[in-house]
Structure 1
Amino acid sequence: MLGPNHPGILTTRGNLAVWRQEAGDAAGAAAATAELLDDCLRVLGPDHPNTLTTRSNLAEWRGEARDAAGAAAAFAELLKDYLRALGPDHPDTRTTRRNLAYWRTKADGE
């Protein structure tokens, strides 16, 4: 009824990926989120809050799927976009900065 590109459907797909990760399937959640990200970028654009959240989730789940270096790299790119789109004091920007530091530390320990 709504179609695959409806923002509500994109949100539902994101929620399904979250629950997949919660069930212990970080790699599956990352794969589903990578597919979702392509659609978010196309439908919502790169600076939409849902697109940025999708990128953050993807970075986190890459790390949880044992790719700390990939997670750190993704958070580094995401931080640039949060700084540009939301500014340095936005809570999501600060969270991204913390996530970047965490995954850099993990990557250095590998």
Structure 2
Amino acid sequence: MLSTVSNLGLLYADQGKLGEAEKMYKRTLQGYEEALGPNHTSTLSTVGNLGNLYKNQGKLGEAEKMYM
């Protein structure tokens, strides 16, 4: 289920719907953190997706937080 939400985020990002993509990534991140913990590869992949999204929006401070 969470992978589907994540894929929807990727689709929205590709379509330029960055606000919607961010919502999906945050929803995915919360779910993975609760289910798998903060250090699981699925959780960290979602953090990377958020970082990339923020970078593409020019939100470099937010991107840096995700990459850290």
> Does TM, normalized by the shorter one, top 0.5?
yes
1:64-79 map, 5 Å:
64-76=56-68
Q: 1:73 deviation in Å?
A: 2.2
Structure with the greater alpha carbon radius of gyration: 1
Is 1:10 matched with 2:24? Answer: no
Match of residue 19 from structure 1:
11
Q: Which runs of 4+ in 1 moved over 3 A?
A: none
TM-score by length of 2: 0.87
Is 1:29 matched with 2:24? Answer: no
Q: 1:67 deviation in Å?
A: 0.7
> What is the DSSP-based 3-state SS (H/G/I as helix, E as strand, rest coil) of the residue aligned with 1:46?
coil
Matched pairs, number: 68
The higher relative CO (CA closer than 8 Å, separation ≥ 6) is in 2
Query: Unaligned regions of 5+ residues in structure 1, if any?
Result: 1-8, 77-110
Identity %: 25
Query: Unaligned regions of 5+ residues in structure 2, if any?
Result: none
Match of residue 49 from structure 2:
57
Counterpart Cα distance in 1 of 2:7 and 2:62: 22
Instruction: Provide the alpha-carbon RMSD of the alignment.
Output: 1.2
